[in-house]
Structure 1
Amino acid sequence: MMTIGLYFFLVPDALVGGGTGGIAQVINPFVPVPYSVSLFVINLILLVIGVIVIGKEFGGTTFFSVVLYSGFYALFEHYYPVSHGVSDNPIVNLVLGQVLLSSGVGMVFNAGATTGGVDIIAKIMNMYLPVTFASAAMFTDMTILLLNMLVFGFERGLYAAMGILLGNLVVDRVITGGSARYQVNITSKNYLAINEFILHEIFRATTIYDAKGGYTKQERKVVTSVVDREELLRLKNFVSEIDENAFMYVAPVSEVLGRGFSFEVRQKRSSIVKLRERALKENKK
């Protein structure tokens, strides 16, 4: 789905605004290689940087997504070459292409994987600079968008900017129905590791409170927090790794004020590996 949106609708009309697709679109007129090769090389370079800086646990599913994404694009280039978009109207190509591309991205996220790309740059900026992941991602996309404007003209750049906004809306809708912030409540025997992950890996405040099972009558600890879309996906993956029996529910919220949202907060980064080891020890008790 991602490749169809990119190949048949966006790339032929130079409508890719951000991401590695946008970078490949900028450099492709100046290098004698197919778009799919540029796309794969850029993603591979960023993936290697991500593994070195972020950690080896980052690379597995991301590499698989990159290979499939670029591979399908190469197949289309070889067996079904195109020189223009499906429609003669750039707005039609923009809307259809972004809906297909962003729906595919949302499905990849829901499957617990990632498409990598410039999100790697945003993650690194979030780790080492006093900026949120969302702000870092917006900065990288805007930089790529400006480069596209310089190469393909102001009008195409405006179309691409509209595409970025539409794409973000579609991804949000596919993942959780459109909300930008989500309250999470997690009941788990590994609540300490989950609490540490939220505090020191995604930098959000938490509340821990006591609860009792209505059926089992057992005492439990519940961790609650408010996170954004990208953080929610990371948290879901972490919880499923350390406690497959954890109970977690997610609810969209309309507004969040306070620590970590209305102003920035930075904390010392902990190790995910250590958190997993702690969770395994707790499971053996």
Structure 2
Amino acid sequence: MMMKKDNWKDFLLVIIGNFVLAIGVTVFVLPNDILTGGVAGIAVALQPLIDIDPTIIINILTVALFFVGLIFLGKQFALKTLLSSICYPMLISLLSWFLAAYFPENYFVMDRYLATIYGGIFMGCGVGLIFRCGASSGGTDIPPLVIHKYTHISLPTLVLITDALTVLLGVLTYGFQAALVGIISVFISSVSIDKMLTLGAIKSKNCIIISEHYEEMLHYIHQNLARGTTILRGYGGYTHEDRPVIMVVVSKKQYPLLQYEAQKVDPNAFIIVTDTDEVHGLGFSFQEELS
């Protein structure tokens, strides 16, 4: 059976994500001994204790944790993680060999804070690309998933604890300051993952409007902003009166127009505004936003 077009796209994005992740590790983390989350952070923390190349430690841990996931999380999870568990160790080994063969020793040794920032960005973007495909990067993502399955503790909390323990492991070998730098790396990486997951999303404003002049506002929204609305049934806790509540999602450039018109129609209008990172549906296509 031929692989579907979307499957090929996801397959390619997982490989690219692992390649970006491997660049962050081999170019920035390993040459500068940056404590960070994941198997790379464990490899750096253990390097002074055991005389083994960090690349080998990363490869062993990645494969070992894959089998842990297979045993405790099942075949379905293993299939989603298999590609990363193969690509990541392979790319780490190839990039390490390439950098050692074609660049002088210590070529990528740099200011620790620069390495922390750029390493975190590359690793976060790589993991974010993998997550966008619904796949897993494997490695230290697996222990939190296993614990979550049996304890139902919040997964983000478990991931944070795992990364924190990884960084704190380095206190024994590199000292407290290096661990603090490592926490910066973990934070930058998590922010980069979040940004990558919302890349290309249309940021908008979700507005809740309560006004006695709601008919005029509806007319303006429909005719001038070309946005649909939803009427919610509200009940005043103080007035004990039924009152329509307008809910509308507008683009960021349309929000000032809506705010101005609402204040003009009814200076006493009650408006609640929240940011939305992503909107799907009629009227919020990428093409329309460009027009």
TM-score normalized by structure 2?
Answer: 0.58
Distance 1:85 1:134, change over 3 A: farther
Contact 1:145 1:161 (C-alpha < 8 Å) held by counterparts: yes
Contact 2:36 2:186 (C-alpha < 8 Å) held by counterparts: yes
2:167 paired with 1:174: no
Give 1:79 deviation, angstroms: 2.8
Match of 1:33 in 2: 52
User: Which residues of 2 match residues 68-107 of structure 1 at below 5 A?
Assistant: 68-81=87-100, 83-84=105-106, 86=108, 88-107=110-129
**Partners of 1:11 and 1:116 in 2: how far apart?**
19
| Counterpart secondary structure, 2:131 | helix
**Partners of 1:53 and 1:178 in 2: how far apart?**
35
**Partners of 2:105 and 2:160 in 1: how far apart?**
30
Give 1:68 deviation, angstroms: 1.3
Contact 2:65 2:142 (C-alpha < 8 Å) held by counterparts: yes
Give 1:87 deviation, angstroms: 5.5
- Look up the equivalent residue of 1:92 and give its one-letter code: L
**Partners of 1:178 and 1:144 in 2: how far apart?**
32
| Counterpart secondary structure, 1:29 | coil
> Out of 144, 148, 153, which is 1:122 matched to?
144
Q: Give deviations 1:141-195, integer Å, cap 9, x for gaps.
A: 111111012111111111110110111011001002599xxxxxxxxxxxxxxxx
- Look up the equivalent residue of 1:46 and give its one-letter code: L
**Partners of 2:40 and 2:275 in 1: how far apart?**
30
Contact 1:43 1:117 (C-alpha < 8 Å) held by counterparts: yes
Contact 1:40 1:67 (C-alpha < 8 Å) held by counterparts: no
**Partners of 2:94 and 2:199 in 1: how far apart?**
33
Distance 1:125 1:83, change over 3 A: farther
Match of 1:17 in 2: 36
**Partners of 1:66 and 1:117 in 2: how far apart?**
8
Give 1:84 deviation, angstroms: 3.9
TM-score normalized by structure 1?
Answer: 0.59
Between the aligned residues of both structures, percent identity stands at: 23
- Look up the equivalent residue of 2:32 and give its one-letter code: D
Contact 1:36 1:71 (C-alpha < 8 Å) held by counterparts: no
| Counterpart secondary structure, 2:138 | coil
Contact 1:9 1:86 (C-alpha < 8 Å) held by counterparts: yes
Contact 1:149 1:156 (C-alpha < 8 Å) held by counterparts: yes
Q: Give deviations 1:123-145, integer Å, cap 9, x for gaps.
A: 11111124110111111111111
2:182 paired with 1:163: no
User: Which sections of structure 2, spanning at least 5 residues, go unmatched?
Assistant: 1-19, 202-273, 278-291
**Partners of 1:4 and 1:106 in 2: how far apart?**
14
* RMSD across aligned positions (CA): 2.4
Match of 2:23 in 1: 4
Contact 1:169 1:178 (C-alpha < 8 Å) held by counterparts: no
Distance 1:113 1:80, change over 3 A: same
**Partners of 2:108 and 2:46 in 1: how far apart?**
23
Greater C-alpha radius of gyration: 2
